[in-house]
A and B are shown apart, each in its own frame.
Chain A
Amino acid sequence: MTEYLIRRLVQSAVVMFLITVLTFGLIHSAPGGPTKVFLSPGLSQQAAKVQAEHLGLDRPIPEQYLKWVGGLLRGDLGYTFKNHLPVGDILWPTVGHTMVLMGAAWLLSLLIAIPWGVYNSTKEYGWSDQTASFISYIGFAMPTFWFGILLQELFALKLDWLPLSDMWSLDKEGQIGDLLLHLVLPVSVLTLGFLAGYVKYARTSMLEVLQQDYIRTARAKGIHEVRVVYRHGLRNALIPIITIIGLDLPILVGGATLTENVFNWPGMGRLFVEMALAREYSVLMAITLVTAFMVILGNLIADLLYALVDPRVQLGRKGGSTA
């Protein structure tokens, strides 16, 4: 276990290192190079040279890279060009806002998807199953932002039941009730997106489990069907679901970008687009790294959880039985 953990940590560190190289390399291969990217436009040549020296842009590229990574390790994400604000001050609050939105949508979709998928697996090709597969087809094919715009038009403009956008109304910042009202529309959009996949996963993995011998044994012993499905079946079916959820974490972190932009939610995705249009590269680099870090961490946690839930999985034993 410890050996496996160490190996995975090293692997994650390598991937993280490669991501810093990728991001740094991308910025430095932009047309005109970093000098054009990092320096304020409209400077005289003399001033540009001074600023480049001040920012260390005249140093060799490996040295610049090391300096940048060194800063990252100390938690220094750099400064914005426009107002010279620390990137962390802008970034961290938006991470929290994204987490609130995504967490709510994710929890809601799991709460709906798992029972629904389990029910569908017991009534294969029934009307509920057909509805779920219809929803998943639509969910995969529909542009989420379009659905968001339609919801805004219907519930915010036409019916005037819910707020149009933003996280809080102007005079009610910090009130939970107001936040919940603002959450309804974006969370519905995101939930539909998640549901499309999760119901299917839950159903498929449940169907697989229900064909196992131990389910037949349980039924043969005369255990009530509900108990067979929800206790003997569901517990085992959860294992593949957990893995898939772990693999889905990138979507969880980055997938709210469109929804956040539609509903003007002050999260990481909206910040990313805003900063991309304003060409604030230090913020873009920071967001890319932070999300990548969270994704790698999430995958690691999912792997460990997998081992915790399924005692048959023996991590670290090469070629061992992973069932």
Chain B
Amino acid sequence: MNLTIRERQPEPAAEPGWKGGANISGLTVSRRPPGMWRNGASKFIRNPYAVAGLVVLVCFIILALLARVIAPYDPAAIDLLGANLPAGAGNHWLGTDELGRDILSRLLVSGQVSLLIGFSVAFASVLIGTMVGAVSGYFGGWIDVCFMRLVDVMNAVPLLFLNILILALFGSKFSYMIIVLALTSWMGVARLVRGTFLQLREMQYVEAARAIGVSNTGIIVRHLLRNSTVPIIVTATLMVGGAILSESALSYLGLGIQAPDTSWGVMLSNAQEFMLIDPLQALYPGLCILLVVLAVNFVGDGIRDALDPRKQTHPSRKGVGIWRRNSSKFEV
């Protein structure tokens, strides 16, 4: 049935102007309108904040991936003779801490921990939230009531308290941390997906799908979930930042990453103890957290602005000017 609509013309490879569009009297005319993703990508690229965020984030990811290779010293190596060196002293670019450990190396390795936790927590909680929200929004009834009460319960307890309680009870392991953070941050996604599903399940195309015998799972995955990808992606991105902040907070309080492992939060709690001796030590890890989270949030906002069809773009005065000048050329 779709064949007649989607059938593509064979590409005339010899003509140069035919790559992706027709060449009519010097103007490239697209053969079909660009899809949501390509449209979004071109909007994203034109957003300076989003691009800057992406560049910073990619830099941090590369540094984290290569941390063990490029770190000049062993991050856990203690050198009491070279403790509390200022920045730049004796080949330590950012100096050493109270035990003589190289701060730059520790920052790099911490970045690994923070990014790993950020991305895996965001992924896991989006997975949980989407499943709960999808089931709850699609089926409704008592399942919905149960899940929404659960969300109410989770929202009534301050999440930091819940995280601390669980980590104190079960011990602070790296894997526990990811599980705990994921289990306490899926509620927003669940609400979001449920809301979208409640709207979408009344749509005619869902009714049509059901009429031709598509199974519940098929409708959820292929028809409903696909139409809620954009808000899910945006929330997932913003969640990475939240997870990094939570990790640093828990580690700062002494309940997250434990020595000899390190993270930016651990470094900050160390730095506070020794701030009389070396006040600059507190600056670097916090700055790293700020930069990463800011970058992730900019990317998330950029994606939202790029993919949301309802979002009205405010063209800049300069942009309107360029557009006017260009369009006047064509009028001639």
Residue of B nearest to A284 (CB): B165
Q: Which of B129-186 contact A (CB under 8 A)?
A: 149-150, 152-153, 155-162, 164-171
Are the C-beta atoms of A31 and B164 separated by less than 8 Å? no
Are the C-beta atoms of B158 and A254 separated by less than 8 Å? yes
Are the C-beta atoms of B283 and A143 separated by less than 8 Å? no
- Residues from chain A with a CB closer than 8 A to the CB of B262 are none
Are the C-beta atoms of B282 and A141 separated by less than 8 Å? no
Instruction: Answer whether residue A115 sits at the interface, using C-beta atoms and an 8 A cutoff.
Output: no
CA gap between A279 and B164 in the complex, in Å? 11
CA gap between A30 and B166 in the complex, in Å? 9
Instruction: Answer whether residue A22 sits at the interface, using C-beta atoms and an 8 A cutoff.
Output: yes
Are the C-beta atoms of B286 and A150 separated by less than 8 Å? yes
Are the C-beta atoms of B160 and A143 separated by less than 8 Å? no
- Residues from chain A with a CB closer than 8 A to the CB of B245 are 141, 143
- Residues from chain A with a CB closer than 8 A to the CB of B285 are 146
CB distance from A156 to the nearest CB of B (A): 10
CB distance from B42 to the nearest CB of A (A): 23
Kindly supply a per-residue 1/0 record for chain A positions 131-175, scoring 1 wherever the CB is within 8 Å of any chain B CB and 0 otherwise.
000000110111101110110110001100000000000000000
Are the C-beta atoms of A149 and B272 separated by less than 8 Å? yes
CB distance from A294 to the nearest CB of B (A): 9
- Residues from chain B with a CB closer than 8 A to the CB of A37 are 169
Are the C-beta atoms of B161 and A254 separated by less than 8 Å? yes
Are the C-beta atoms of B297 and A143 separated by less than 8 Å? no
Are the C-beta atoms of A18 and B153 separated by less than 8 Å? yes
- Residues from chain A with a CB closer than 8 A to the CB of B314 are 125
Instruction: Answer whether residue B77 sits at the interface, using C-beta atoms and an 8 A cutoff.
Output: no
Are the C-beta atoms of A143 and B161 separated by less than 8 Å? no
CA gap between A255 and B152 in the complex, in Å? 18
Instruction: Answer whether residue B254 sits at the interface, using C-beta atoms and an 8 A cutoff.
Output: yes
Are the C-beta atoms of B158 and A276 separated by less than 8 Å? no
| Chain B residues within 8 Å of chain A by Cβ, number | 46
Q: Which of A281-307 contact B (CB under 8 A)?
A: 281, 284, 287-288, 291-292, 295-296, 299
CA gap between A261 and B268 in the complex, in Å? 13
**Given contacts A149-B275, A152-B275, A255-B158, is CB(A288)–CB(B165) below 8 Å?**
yes
Most buried by B among A16, A138, A281, A292: A292
- Residues from chain B with a CB closer than 8 A to the CB of A19 are 153, 156-157
Are the C-beta atoms of B169 and A30 separated by less than 8 Å? yes
- Looking at B26-34, B88-96, B206-214, B288-296, the stretch in contact with chain A turns out to be B288-296
Are the C-beta atoms of B158 and A143 separated by less than 8 Å? no
Are the C-beta atoms of B158 and A261 separated by less than 8 Å? no
- Residues from chain A with a CB closer than 8 A to the CB of B1 are none
CA gap between A279 and B167 in the complex, in Å? 11
Are the C-beta atoms of A14 and B149 separated by less than 8 Å? yes
CA gap between A288 and B102 in the complex, in Å? 40
Are the C-beta atoms of B158 and A295 separated by less than 8 Å? yes
**Given contacts A272-B161, A273-B253, is CB(A138)–CB(B271) below 8 Å?**
no
- Residues from chain A with a CB closer than 8 A to the CB of B5 are none
- Residues from chain B with a CB closer than 8 A to the CB of A273 are 164, 253-255
Are the C-beta atoms of B282 and A153 separated by less than 8 Å? yes
CA gap between A122 and B286 in the complex, in Å? 35
CB distance from B319 to the nearest CB of A (A): 14
Are the C-beta atoms of A149 and B282 separated by less than 8 Å? yes
The 7 closest A-B pairs by CB, nearest first: A254-B158, A146-B286, A276-B168, A141-B293, A141-B294, A30-B169, A153-B279
10 A/B residue pairs, CB under 8 Å, sorted by A? A142-B286, A254-B159, A254-B160, A257-B164, A272-B161, A273-B164, A273-B254, A281-B169, A284-B164, A288-B162
